[in-house]
Amino acid sequence: MTYLFRRLSIVGLGLAIASGCPSLLAQGQPASSPQSSQSAQGNPLFQIRQNDKLGFINRSGQIVVSPQYDDSHAFSEGLAVAQLGEKYGYVNPQGQWVIKPQFELAEDFSEGLAAAMINDQLGYINASGQWVIKPQFFLVGPFSEGMARVLIGKKYGFINRQGKVVIPAQYNLAHDFSNGLAKVQRNGRVGFINKAGQSVIAPQFYEATPFREGLAAVETNQKWRYIQPNGQFAHVAQFDRAWAFSEGLGLVRIGLKYGFVNKAGKIVIAPKFDRAGSFSEGKAWVTVASKQGYINKAGAFVISPRFDEASNFKQGLAFVKTGGREGYVNPSGQIVWQSP
């Protein structure tokens, strides 16, 4: 996960799905389903919930880790956060505890380190459960491109993997590095800095997404446009709302309808959907007449709209919900697992 956190636990699979238009969360990034697993050494696992306990299935829908945890996250770098009682630890793809439950809060591994809390302070551990950066922070983010954002006093700065402050705390808000730049906020305006802490795009926008695939969406004069890393506008096109690029296409809203543009600002999928998510694994979920399905990059439906909720495809499956039942759908539109 990419947001600054103090409350880290997932509060239920269905509640975490992008419901409605893609939210910015805290960073201007489309919402994604946390139950979709990161790779577990080439064999992705996916969270399920039965009888208020969480476990994991494989891509075929077979239960490989029986539901037994009070809370869990998706696998990241071979380990998954899991909760028993009031404490968090980490399990492997076989469901075995690799780092026993001992933390008040815990977050996913990113670039070999994970944030965890002891005595109301956050630090970072390695995959062996050893403290690499001792607990000392109140708010932190995950490591991204070798740096992590932290709250020091009332301002945000960045630390390196040794815990050294490399960009002094000076921002009202800060966000993960992406494409070599990090979004920061000062005096109510958003800009971007590089890894040396230099301002490369001065704070001037009301809001912005992170840079993805060489472009970032920014809000200016009540419209959204795309900018390049040098701060120049990529084209003259403007939208009522725009999101970060994914797989070569940017999700935009014109009026009340959602569509997609290419990097030249040309509309390639007409704004005709009530809601939509960004492309992932060649598909994007969209809403038509209160039902959600999936389209391809030509804008054609490949899975008809029949779900009450849908999320991005990750590692070959997507979390869906219909009739109050949670499940997973494969690229052919077949349900491989569904809750009772």
Domain boundary residue among 192, 211, 230?
Answer: 211
pLDDT at residue number 43:
86
For residue 24, pLDDT over 70 is answered with no
Residue 265 counted as domain residue: yes
pLDDT at residue number 35:
54
For residue 2, pLDDT over 80 is answered with no
CB-CB neighbours of 15 under 10 Å: 8
Integer Cα distance of 283 and 38 in angstroms:
18
Query: 62: which residues sit within 8 A by CB, 6+ positions away?
Result: none
For residue 123, pLDDT over 50 is answered with yes
Domain boundary residue among 271, 288, 311?
Answer: 271
Average pLDDT, the chain: 90
pLDDT interval class at 205 (50, 70, 90): very high
Residue 183 counted as domain residue: yes
To the nearest whole percent, how much of the chain has pLDDT over 90? Answer: 87
Residues 222 and 239 in one domain: yes
The residue segments making up the domain with residue 188 are 144-211
Residue 113 counted as domain residue: no
For residue 15, pLDDT over 80 is answered with no
Q: Identify which of 317, 260, 195, 338 has the alpha carbon closest to the alpha carbon of residue 30.
A: 260
Residues 222 and 203 in one domain: no
Residue 23 counted as domain residue: no
- Nearest-10 Cα torsion for 3, 7, 12, 18: -20
Residue 258 counted as domain residue: yes
Q: How many domains does the chain have?
A: 2
Residue 158 counted as domain residue: yes
Residue 127 counted as domain residue: no
* CATH (domain of 174): 2.40.128.630
* Contact between residue 131 and residue 123 where contact means Cβ atoms under 8 Å apart: yes
Both tokens assigned to 116:
């965890």
pLDDT tens-digit map of 162-186: 999 999 999 999 999 999 999 999 9
For residue 138, pLDDT over 70 is answered with yes
User: Structure pTM?
Assistant: 0.87
Residues 207 and 148 in one domain: yes
* Contact between residue 199 and residue 193 where contact means Cβ atoms under 8 Å apart: yes
For residue 253, pLDDT over 70 is answered with yes
For residue 17, pLDDT over 80 is answered with no
Residue 81 counted as domain residue: no
pLDDT at residue number 37:
58
For residue 26, pLDDT over 80 is answered with no
pLDDT tens-digit map of 53-93: 999 999 999 999 999 999 999 999 999 999 999 999 999 99
Integer Cα distance of 251 and 187 in angstroms:
28
Domain boundary residue among 183, 211, 239?
Answer: 211
pLDDT interval class at 9 (50, 70, 90): very low
